[in-house]
A and B are shown apart, each in its own frame.
Chain A
Amino acid sequence: MAMSPWLPFEWIAATRFLREGRTQSLLIIVGVGVGVSVIVFMSALLSGLQSNLVKRTLSSQSHIVLLPPEEIARPLNGDKSGPLIQKQAQRLRSIDQWQNIRGRLEKMPEIAAVSPVASGPAFAVRGDANKSVSLIGIEPENYNRVIGLEERIVAGRLRLNAGEAVIGIELAKDLGAAVGDKLRLNTGNGANDTLTITGLFDLGNKGVNARNVYVGLRSAQSLLDLVGGVSSIDLSLRDIYAAEGLALKIAAETGLQADSWIKTNAQFFTALTSQRISSNVIRFFIGLSVAFGIASVLVVSVVQRSKEIGILRAMGASRGQILRTFLLQGGIVGLLGSLLGSALAWSFLAIWRMLALNPDGTPMFMIDVEPELIVIAAGGATLVGILAALMPARRAANLDPVVAIRG
């Protein structure tokens, strides 16, 4: 119980007052703790859920896809009353000067990886089975940095020399093929090639697993009659949420069509955004009710202690000392409450991890309380506590000692 010699009067008085009003202090700290735990738990859950959803969505998609501009048929004169112009069918074309564009993209600091792709429709034939597929020609090293194909290989490995292909597990099932088997590819322009399957992938999406056939960039170029060309350039970004802005910028600079994942998945992205907004609204109101809780407890405390405050003032305590004593009580309650809340949230998450499992027993998705989240929660709750204490503390500082001592 001894006073620490290094603590100033305000700290000593604030902690003593809180300790003396033990029940009140404990109740409000638990109240703050419950509020903070909901905020921390919800934030961790939401960010885990969202990053998991985004990760799944982006597992088979690049952040930005660059395509050659659409071909548009223009009438010779600008006469609006002329014949109706039918929209032109888009044929498979290469991106003009793609090597040059690639060089420029690789110099942009926002871009983590650039992967040129030659892709087009084809048929995969094996015995009597015959499947329509997407033939995708890649440079494996660069493509890996965009899609992460290598870590999705479930059998064999990612090796795409001439005459080799990697296919999805669904397609392998449909065709009854395994690693080491042969596969024949026919393209629309009559070209065909027989490839050896070197690996099977699972990109977490049934359609993609049934459709995509990866071959080396050169093989695809010759099969698709795109020699030396690429049909698209896939980009991976350092900040996925900057995709839309960057896509607009690249489109303006290169004249290419640039589609960001945000635009491609507009509905999904809107859902993420509204989820985030609604959780912010909930957080705000929890913060508000925490603030009101702290304020009401301190208002009662000021009323209960008005005589003591009057005596302290008579003994020479300044208004500032009284003000700070009560602000500190708010801050301490906020800080302790947030630590309790973080511990509670951590336990909720531990329970969640035990309960939210996939059918095979693996966790449904990873959620963790990040240290920054706890630091932010503690800082925020302390600040809310001090702000909530402002009104009661000013009331305490402005008490008339004459009235306070008599009352």
Chain B
Amino acid sequence: MAENPNNAVLRLGGIRKSYLSGESELEVLHGIDLTLQRGEFAALIGPSGSGKSTLLNLIGLLDRPTAGQLFIDGEETSTLAESSITKLRGQRIGFVFQHHCLIPAFTALENVMMPLLVDRGRPDAAMRQRAAELLAEVDLADRQDYLTSRLSGGQQQRVAIARSLAMNPSLVLADEPTGNLDTHTADDIFALLREVNVREQTTFLIVTHDPRLAARCDRIIELVDGSIVSDRSV
């Protein structure tokens, strides 16, 4: 896909991240440059300790870089206040975590509604409608009033995917989305992500250890020791 900065969902420029480790400063990311266009379906791979999670947290606006610029939909984030960052994260970024991370006090439907609820403050019929549609899209229409503890691992992950799409985000970040599932279910989940990507033109960045899954993405970004060592289209 051609580099078109105006169409970039995500653009990183010289992103560095270091942590204080005792007296010395430990740099985990050494100047990352990366652009994701709308509709891209990219895998982020690398050995553990390469900085994948740190990078994902920075892109997800859960953490802030030590240096460099990070644009979401063309908006520079390093100068934003904490409250604006929280708002931006809720509205533009969807998360799918490895350990499905649903909130057990709520039903499947309510979990899918949650990003809308925290954004708007109060529930309404439109929210409920949107959540029901999303659950239907991930084939769980008949499970919408189940508490999440009554769902299987694969079902929980599908609820999490529906939830990540609730706000119509520009970018969905998936951290080992199939890590906890058997091969068959993992394939289903992966296919679902792909389907959403094709239908909604939602941009995905998927962290995975599984070369088999990475090979099914459009683009593979490989991170080693805090630097991008390869970035290729498949």
A402 in contact (CB, < 8 A): yes
Of the residues B53, B90, B91, B104, contact of A20 by C-beta under 8 Å: B104
Of the residues A5, A6, A311, A321, contact of B97 by C-beta under 8 Å: A311
B83 to chain A, nearest CB (A): 6
B89 in contact (CB, < 8 A): yes
A20: chain B residues within 8 A (beta carbon) = 104-105
Interface residues of A in 291-317 (CB under 8 A from B): 307-308, 311-317
Q: CB-CB contacts of B66-89 with A at 8 A, as 1s and 0s? A: 000000000000000011001101
What total of chain A residues lie within 8 Å of the partner, measured CB to CB? 30
Bound together, the chains give a CA A406 to CA B99 distance in angstroms of 9
B125: chain A residues within 8 A (beta carbon) = 5
A interface, over-half SS: helix
Bound together, the chains give a CA A313 to CA B106 distance in angstroms of 16
Of the residues A9, A314, A402, contact of B117 by C-beta under 8 Å: A9
Assess whether A5 is in contact with B62, with CB atoms less than 8 Å apart: no
Assess whether B62 is in contact with A9, with CB atoms less than 8 Å apart: no
B110: chain A residues within 8 A (beta carbon) = 3
A198 to chain B, nearest CB (A): 75
Bound together, the chains give a CA A7 to CA B110 distance in angstroms of 14
A1: chain B residues within 8 A (beta carbon) = 107, 145
Assess whether B57 is in contact with A316, with CB atoms less than 8 Å apart: no
B49 to chain A, nearest CB (A): 14
B149 to chain A, nearest CB (A): 10
Assess whether B105 is in contact with A321, with CB atoms less than 8 Å apart: no
A316: chain B residues within 8 A (beta carbon) = 86-87, 89-91, 115, 118-119, 167
B212 in contact (CB, < 8 A): no
B60 in contact (CB, < 8 A): yes
Assess whether B90 is in contact with A317, with CB atoms less than 8 Å apart: yes
A3 to chain B, nearest CB (A): 5
Interface centre among A9, A13, A321 (most CB of B within 10 A): A9
B123 in contact (CB, < 8 A): yes
Assess whether A12 is in contact with B117, with CB atoms less than 8 Å apart: yes
Of the residues B53, B89, B107, contact of A314 by C-beta under 8 Å: B89
A148 in contact (CB, < 8 A): no
B41 in contact (CB, < 8 A): no
A37 to chain B, nearest CB (A): 30
Bound together, the chains give a CA A227 to CA B87 distance in angstroms of 91
Residue of B nearest to A21 (CB): B105
B77 to chain A, nearest CB (A): 14
B173 to chain A, nearest CB (A): 9
B90: chain A residues within 8 A (beta carbon) = 315-317
Bound together, the chains give a CA A315 to CA B107 distance in angstroms of 17
Bound together, the chains give a CA A315 to CA B173 distance in angstroms of 12
Residue of A nearest to B164 (CB): A315
Assess whether A317 is in contact with B101, with CB atoms less than 8 Å apart: no
Assess whether A315 is in contact with B115, with CB atoms less than 8 Å apart: yes
Interface residues of A in 265-300 (CB under 8 A from B): none
Assess whether A312 is in contact with B121, with CB atoms less than 8 Å apart: no
B95 in contact (CB, < 8 A): yes
B151 in contact (CB, < 8 A): no
**Which A residues form the contact surface with B (CB < 8 A)?**
1, 3-9, 12-13, 16-17, 19-20, 307-308, 311-319, 321, 401-402, 405-406
**Which B residues form the contact surface with A (CB < 8 A)?**
53, 57, 60, 62-63, 82-83, 86-87, 89-91, 95, 97, 101-107, 110, 114-115, 117-119, 121-125, 145, 163, 167
